[in-house]
């Protein structure tokens, strides 16, 4: 049985290793997501865009520190492909970081009343917000629990706090997309994981091609082959 001093030392060492892991992750990703790369995306957004003064590379790097598996799984090429895929979807969803909230989102119903685990709160709307445009009560609820904000009672936090905003994107990505792109299933499978019901299988081929175009562009910028199975 470990003594109190050894337990304390073990706990301290564990915390230091976790902190070091987050630091290494942020540094590794920051080597790929350079200021020039990030600015090259957000720089295409019009000056009048709300997201222009909201999203930032610093906020992205701060948020990614809480998700040490992002952009650090597999080989260096895998790192780059995952990062290229993430930014391809973010670019498409937000218009090069122009939008914080979904256009006309408040007029749309994103409440799944059959989900009793994460019930909708009266007067609150769960339309798309943030880099990945997280939507629906069944996403806001668990995202809030994981990140540490009231996703059901205060979904607007995603549009007001840029760190939380990026964290919702990473939360969704790590739970639904990360294993797909890092296991070599191809970019097309990531489209299916994000908006497949609407865009895949001929649903909206223009949107699919737009996402693929961004992905190929970012892969080219990062110096990595995009791989196979690009569409869905």
Active site residues: 93
Nearest 5°: CA angle at 86, between 152 and 60?
70
Calculate the alpha carbon distances from 50 to 23, 99, 186 in Å. 30, 6, 32
As a whole number of Å, the end-to-end CA separation of the chain is 55
Q: Is 207 exposed, middle or buried (0-12, 13-18, 19+ CB in 10 A)?
A: middle
Give the list of residues 6+ apart from residue 183 with CB closer than 8 angstroms, or none.
Answer: none
What is the C-alpha to C-alpha distance for residues 84 and 71, in angstroms, rounded to an integer? 9
Write the DSSP symbol of residue 43: T
Of residues 28, 33, 25, 86, the one with CA closest to residue 57: 33
């Amino acid at each position: 049985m470990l003594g109190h001093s050894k337990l304390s030392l073990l706990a301290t060492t564990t915390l230091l290793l976790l902190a070091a892991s987050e630091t290494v992750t942020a540094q590794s990703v920051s080597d790929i997501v350079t200021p020039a790369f990030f600015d090259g995306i957000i720089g295409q957004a019009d000056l009048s865009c709300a997201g222009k003064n909201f999203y930032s590379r610093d906020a992205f790097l701060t948020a990614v520190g809480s998700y040490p598996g992002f952009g650090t799984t597999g080989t260096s090429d895998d790192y780059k492909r995952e990062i290229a895929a993430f930014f391809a979807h973010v670019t498409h969803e937000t218009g090069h970081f122009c939008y914080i909230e979904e256009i006309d989102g408040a007029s749309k119903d994103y409440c799944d009343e059959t989900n009793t685990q994460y019930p909708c709160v009266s007067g609150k709307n769960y339309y798309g917000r943030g880099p990945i445009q997280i939507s629906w009560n069944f996403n806001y609820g668990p995202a809030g629990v994981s990140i540490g904000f009231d996703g059901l009672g205060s979904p607007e936090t995603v549009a007001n706090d840029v760190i939380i905003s990026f964290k919702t994107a990473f939360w969704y990505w790590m739970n639904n997309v990360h294993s797909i792109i890092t296991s070599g299933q191809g970019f097309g499978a990531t489209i299916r994981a994000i908006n497949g019901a609407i865009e895949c299988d001929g649903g909206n081929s223009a949107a699919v091609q737009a996402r693929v175009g961004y992905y190929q562009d970012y892969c080219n910028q990062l110096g990595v082959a995009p791989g196979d199975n690009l569409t869905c």
